C-alpha cells in the first residue's frame, strides 16, 4: 500500500474574473522510504503540490490518501492533527523561533502532543544528536550559521518521528558547500528509512533523490527513477 496516493488532484484559485489552475488532474503514488523531488520553474505547481501534501491546503477536486486515510476533505482541526502526527516540515527560511535556543525550537512540536517536559528534552536532544548539533543545543538561532540553523530545523521536523519529511527548497538560503553538507544529511536520513519529499528548482539538488517528478503548468511532464 502506498504511503501517499493522489487521485485526480486539481487545485484551482479564483483571482477576480480569472481562474488559476495551479494543479490539473494529478494522479501519483509515493511509497514508504521513497526519496522524491518535485522540480519545476516558478508557477509550475510544485509549491501548491507541497502545500497539499503537507495538509496546508486542500484540493479543489480529487482524493489524497495519507497512510490510507483520505485527508482531502478534512476540517482544519483534523488537518492540524495530521500535520503534527504525520508530517515533518523543513523550510527554506528555517522558521525558527528567534528567542528560543536550538533545544527549545526542537522541543516545540512536542508541546502540542502533550509530551512531558522531561521527555521533550530527551527526544529533542536525541534529534539534535542525529543532526550532529548536540554541542550547539543551547545557542540561539542568531548564534548559529545558516547550515546549523537548517540542521536545527531538520531536527525539529524529525523529533515527532513523522511518516514523511517535506522539504521546501531546503538549500535555497545556503551557500554551495553548506548545501552539499545538508544534502548529505538528507541522504543519510533516507538510508535510515525516512520517506523524504522535496521541492526544488535546482537539478543538482534533485539529483540526490531516487525519483524526480518534473512539473510544468500544473501537470506532471516527467516521472523518472534513478538507475
Structural domains in the chain plus CATH codes: 32-58+74-225 (3.40.50.300)
Residue with cell 512531558: 116
Per-residue pLDDT of 159-199, as tens digits, reads 999 999 999 999 988 999 999 999 999 999 999 999 999 99
Q: What is the pLDDT of residue 163?
A: 93
- Residues 190, 211: Cα–Cα separation, whole Å: 12
- Are the C-beta atoms of residues 157 and 99 closer than 8 Å to each other? no
List beta partners, residue 70. Answer: 65
* pLDDT, the chain, mean: 93
203 backbone φψ class: left, alpha, beta (φ>0; ψ -120 to 50): alpha
Enumerate the β-bridge partners of residue 168: 91, 199
Q: Alpha-carbon distance 9 to 83, whole Å?
A: 19
Q: Write out pLDDT tens, residues 76-100.
A: 888 888 998 899 999 888 999 999 9
pTM confidence score: 0.93
Amino acid at each position: 500500500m502506498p504511503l501517499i496516493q493522489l487521485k485526480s488532484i486539481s487545485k484551482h484559485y479564483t483571482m477576480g474574473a480569472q481562474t488559476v489552475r495551479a494543479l490539473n488532474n494529478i494522479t501519483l503514488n509515493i511509497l514508504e522510504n521513497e526519496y522524491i523531488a518535485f522540480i519545476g520553474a516558478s508557477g509550475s505547481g510544485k509549491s501548491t503540490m507541497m502545500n497539499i501534501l503537507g495538509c496546508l491546503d486542500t484540493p479543489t477536486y480529487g482524493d489524497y490518501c495519507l497512510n490510507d486515510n483520505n485527508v482531502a476533505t478534512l476540517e482544519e482541526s483534523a488537518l492540524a492533527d495530521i500535520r503534527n502526527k504525520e508530517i515533518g516540515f523543513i523550510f527554506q527560511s528555517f522558521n525558527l523561533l528567534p528567542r528560543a535556543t536550538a533545544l527549545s525550537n526542537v522541543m516545540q512540536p512536542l508541546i502540542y502532543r502533550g509530551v512531558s517536559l522531561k521527555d521533550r528534552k530527551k527526544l529533542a536532544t536525541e534529534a539534535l544528536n542525529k543532526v550532529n548539533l548536540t554541542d550547539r543545543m543551547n545557542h540561539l538561532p542568531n548564534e548559529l550559521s545558516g547550515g546549523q540553523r537548517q540542521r536545527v530545523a531538520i531536527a525539529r521536523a524529525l523529533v515527532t518521528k513523522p511518516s514523511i519529511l517535506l522539504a521546501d527548497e531546503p538549500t535555497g538560503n545556503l551557500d554551495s558547500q553548506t548545501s552539499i553538507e545538508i544534502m548529505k544529511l538528507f541522504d543519510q536520513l533516507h538510508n535510515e528509512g525516512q520517506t523524504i519529499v522535496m521541492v526544488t528548482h535546482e537539478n543538482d539538488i534533485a539529483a540526490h533523490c531516487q525519483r524526480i517528478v518534473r512539473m510544468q503548468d500544473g501537470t506532471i511532464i516527467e516521472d523518472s527513477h534513478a538507475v
